[in-house]
Structure formats: C-alpha cells, structure tokens
Amino acid sequence: MKTQLFVLVAGLMVLSILAAPVQAGTIRTDYEGLEHYVGPLSPGRQWISEDGVLHIRGGQEAYRDEVDDPRLCGDSVVTLNANFHLADPPVFVYGRMWGTFRIENEEGYWEGSWVGERTELQGFSYIRGVLHGHGAYEGLQARAEYVRESPDPAASFAVHGMVMEPGGD
C-alpha cells in the first residue's frame, strides 16, 4: 500500500512539473459538477499476471461531463491503464490507474493526462488530472479532481477543478 501511495504521489509530482507554469496575474476560475459514465468503447489489452494482478492497457470509456463552467462540458473519451488487484464483491478490483482524456464540445476540446487509485476497502476512485485547451480554449489549462465514492464503475464522478487563463501583470 505504501508503494502504491508513493507511485501515486510521484505521478502527481511529474504531472505538476510537466504542466505549463502559471504566470503572475493568471485568472483562476473554479468549477464543479458531475461526470457521467456513458459506456465502454474498447477493453484494450488485458491480462492477469502470475502474481494475480489484472493489467489493463489502452482501454477506452465514454463519459459526459456536466459542470458549471460550459468550457468543460461535453463528451469525454478516457483512455485507461491500470494494475488492479482482484478483490471480493462489491469492490472486485483495486489499485493504481492512469491514462489520458479528451473533453470535446462545439467550441473546442481539452486534452490531458490523469493518475488515480481505486481503493482496496471500498472500491472508491480518486483521480487528478491536468488538461490543456484547444480551439476556443487555446492557451488555457485546467486541473481537475474526480471522486467516485461508490464501488459501482457506472456511478457518476463528482468533479471539481480550476481553469487557468493567462492574464496581465
């Protein structure tokens, strides 16, 4: 468990280093809402290793993001990679996960990466991501936290985050 926490923290540190620096005068706008599961797109490659870990690489799922900032509302495709340990119901699997995501709407799209964990005892999911805007959102960056406090993989995520716009001095 300590190793998983270390890897999660290390991954978050790498994401923060790779993210574009925030300039003085940056305008920060908080947002919150929900992300709803739409359905699977591709299972990706999956296998169970000799030590009983379920490995997933390149799985894809569709979501619909509905938040109070229309710039981040839209259809989302999430690419999932994971190293999950098997567990009894209702948890089924737990462990580290990471990937990329893209949220698209009529004005443009956001692309980014995320890291997270599905907990062992409850099957809850905690995810942090960094997104970069394109189209009408070019030059913007968003940071997001996704929380699903249910073991049900079809339950909605609570989302909160911040959009950062470069500003003057």
CATH code assigned at 99 = 2.40.350
Among 66, 81, 75, residue whose Cα is nearest residue 32? 66
- Tens digit of each residue's pLDDT (9 = 90 or more) over 125-161: 999 999 999 999 999 999 999 999 999 999 999 999 9
Q: Please name the residues in contact with 108: beta carbons below 8 A apart, sequence gap of 6 or more.
A: 133, 134, 135, 136, 137, 138
pTM of the model: 0.84
Domain that holds residue 29: 2-165
Tens of pLDDT, residues 56-110: 999 999 999 999 999 999 999 999 999 999 999 999 999 999 999 999 999 999 9
Q: Which amino acid is at 38?
A: V
Number of domains in the chain: 1
